[in-house]
C-alpha cells in the first residue's frame, strides 16, 4: 500500500475508533473529542434553528436574574450574591428622620447615616438560599430645644452601632454608643438630656430597624426581588 493510500484511510480508521469507543463505552468525553478535533476527524457541528418557544426558554435560562441560581449554576452547589447597596439604602430610609423626645422641651432627630460598613449577602447552598448581614453603622443626630434663639446651634452627636447582624437581632443585643460632639459648658444640661434620651430611646427602634432588614433580605433570598 502506498503512503497516499495509508493517509486516505487514516480518517476512516479514526472514525471507526470513535464509533468503537462509543459502542464499547457509550458517548465519549470532552477530552476525546478535543483530541479528535485537533486531528480534524471529529464530527463537525451543525447549526440548529430554535423555535420561538425554545429561544425564549434559553433566554430565560441565560439571564440569571432574580435571587435564585444563575444559569451556570444549575447544580446549585454554591453561589453568593451581594445585597449591600440595597441594605444601605434601606437602612437610610428607615432611620433618617427618626425623632426622640428629650426632657426640657427638646427633640432629637437622626439626620443621616454617617458611615456604613459591612455587607449583606444571599448564599445559595445546594439550591437553598441562606441570607445574612453584618453592619457597622454610625448615625448623625441633632437636637433642638423649644425656646432656643434662632442663632443657637443645635446639640449634635452620633450613635454608633458596632455590630448589627442576624445574631444580634435575634438575641436582642443591638448595642450602640451615643456621643455628644463639641460640648459646651453653658449647654451641659441640654447635652446630657439629649444623651440620656437617645441612649434609651433608640434601643427598640434600632432592633426593629435591623429586624426589618433581616425580614426583607429573606424575602429577596426567596425571589421577592
CA distance 173 to 169: 6
CA distance 70 to 154: 51
**How is residue 14 written as a grid cell?**
479514526
161-191 CB burial, b ≥16 within 10 A, e <16: beebbbebbeeeebebebebeeeeeebeebb
- Residues 99/109, Cβ–Cβ less than 8 Å: yes
**How is residue 142 written as a grid cell?**
441633632
Write out pLDDT tens, residues 181-222.
999 998 999 999 999 999 999 999 999 999 999 999 999 888
Confidence label for 32 from pLDDT (cuts 50, 70 and 90) = very low
- Residues 123/80, Cβ–Cβ less than 8 Å: yes
SS3 (DSSP) at 130: strand
Which residue in this structure is represented by grid cell 420561538?
A: 52
Q: What angle, 0 to 180 degrees and rounded to 10, lies between the N-to-C axes of helices 203-221 and 188-201?
A: 40
- Residues 193/104, Cβ–Cβ less than 8 Å: yes
Stretch 90-98: mean pLDDT: 97
154, 190, 217, 225 from 147: Cα distances, Å: 12, 12, 43, 47
Write out pLDDT tens, residues 151-176.
889 999 999 999 999 999 999 999 99
Amino acid at each position: 500500500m502506498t503512503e497516499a493510500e495509508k493517509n486516505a484511510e487514516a480518517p476512516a480508521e479514526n472514525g471507526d475508533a470513535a464509533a468503537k469507543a462509543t459502542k464499547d463505552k457509550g458517548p465519549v468525553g470532552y477530552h476525546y473529542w478535543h483530541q479528535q478535533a485537533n486531528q480534524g476527524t471529529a464530527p463537525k457541528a451543525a447549526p440548529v434553528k430554535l423555535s420561538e418557544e425554545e429561544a425564549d426558554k434559553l433566554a430565560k435560562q441565560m439571564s440569571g436574574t432574580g435571587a435564585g441560581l444563575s444559569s451556570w449554576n444549575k447544580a446549585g452547589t454554591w453561589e453568593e450574591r451581594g445585597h449591600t447597596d440595597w441594605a444601605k439604602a434601606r437602612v437610610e430610609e428607615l432611620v433618617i428622620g427618626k425623632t426622640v423626645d428629650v426632657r426640657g422641651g427638646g427633640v432629637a432627630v437622626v439626620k443621616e447615616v454617617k458611615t456604613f460598613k459591612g455587607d449583606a449577602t444571599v448564599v445559595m447552598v445546594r439550591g437553598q438560599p441562606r441570607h445574612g448581614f453584618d453592619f457597622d453603622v454610625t448615625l448623625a443626630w441633632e437636637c433642638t430645644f423649644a425656646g432656643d434663639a434662632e442663632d443657637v446651634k443645635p446639640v449634635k452627636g452620633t450613635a454608633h452601632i458596632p455590630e448589627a447582624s442576624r445574631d444580634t437581632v435575634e438575641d436582642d443585643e443591638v448595642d450602640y454608643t451615643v456621643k455628644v460632639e463639641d460640648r459646651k459648658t453653658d449647654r451641659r444640661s441640654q447635652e446630657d438630656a439629649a444623651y440620656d434620651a437617645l441612649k434609651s430611646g433608640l434601643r427598640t427602634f434600632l432592633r426593629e430597624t435591623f429586624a426589618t432588614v433581616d425580614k426583607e433580605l429573606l424575602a429577596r433570598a426567596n425571589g421577592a426581588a
